[in-house]
Homo-oligomer: A and B are copies of this chain.
Amino acid sequence: MGYCSGKTFRYDKASIEVYAAVVGKIESEGPYGNEFDEVIDDNKGGTDTWEQAEGLFQKKAVKHVLDKSGLAPENIDLLFAGDLLNQCVGSSYGLKDYYIPFLGIYGACSTFAEGLLLAGAMVNAGYADTAIAVTSSHFSSAERQFRFPLNYGGIRTPTSQWTATASGAALVTQSGKPPFIRAATAGKIEDMGITDVNNMGAAMAGAAYDTLSRHFTHLGSRPEDYDLIITGDLGLVGSELLCDLFMRDGIAIKERHKDCGLMLFDRSTQDVHAGGSGCGCGASMMCGHFLKRIERGELKRVLFCATGALMSTTMIQQGGSIPGVAHAVEITSY
């Protein structure tokens, strides 16, 4: 794993002007349940299917962002969107009625960071005045697509993670107000040889280590320069692995490391095993909780590193391993 190749992008004009999160019932019962903009109790959200519901979560998250900003869909120059469903249909079906220029992105659970990286770049460079990044995940649509039919009632393994039913959306502009996107590092694909779809944290930890290491090196920063280093959804197993990987280099990050997958749910009372996961997990924790704290100046410099397991059932059935990727976005109050 090399330190110095690749680049870290710098931003001097990109603000996250507004942001919003929409979550499901179980997520609303977690420790941060009061911080989200909307809770949809019914996991079909009044639609006919889980997949349509997932689209609805994205649609509503974007609606909240539009409402907060006072902008209409025709005022938005670009929409970066993605999700875990085959062909990213949560995004395309959920957002089609807005009729906003649409660039689909895919990085599994790293997608929200990819969206912030690209929306930030397009706004910072002046290509777009307004760009939204939005992602989602849905427990039921993900479980039946990636693992087993829900009514099969399979026992979940201890390392398995619970896909969050949630969406987060952020509007990037040159508003000049915090939170600011200051830097971002695009991840390389790391394959640690993990083949267990119920151990995604382990599959993604190496990618997070590589991206964070390169980010520090390129900027000449150290973990202690950040108030928090927030990973998307490494969960319990992946988080420990990440801290261990840094300890090999003599770098202690545990004290300032937080994982959205370990925060969204209360693991002592909610049966989510190794924690939450999904494109909506990091997105909702960032847009529901962390961005507010950065905006208020409680957190001054934060590094958000969302990780993705780039697996498909087809490749797993063919005996393939699970490549991971992680993108890091540095967000500041100043």
Contact = CB atoms under 8 A, between A and B. Distances in A.
A96 interface: yes
Given A77-B6, A86-B87, A105-B106, A125 B114 contact: no
Interface stretch (A172-180, A181-189, A264-272): A181-189
Interface in A39-73: 48-49, 51-52
A92 B51 contact: no
B105 A314 contact: no
Chain A interface residue number, banded: 35 or more
Contacts of A310: 87-89, 92-93, 104
A5 B85 CA distance: 29
Copy tally for this chain in the complex stands at 2
A24 interface: no
A127 B5 contact: no
A7 B92 contact: no
A246 interface: no
A87 B108 contact: yes
B314 A51 contact: yes
29 contacts: A7-B127, A7-B128, A9-B127, A49-B318, A51-B314, A51-B318, A82-B106, A84-B87, A85-B312, A86-B86, A86-B312, A87-B106, A88-B106, A89-B315, A92-B310, A92-B323, A92-B325, A95-B189, A96-B189, A99-B189, A102-B188, A102-B189, A103-B327, A104-B105, A104-B114, A104-B310, A105-B105, A105-B106, A121-B125
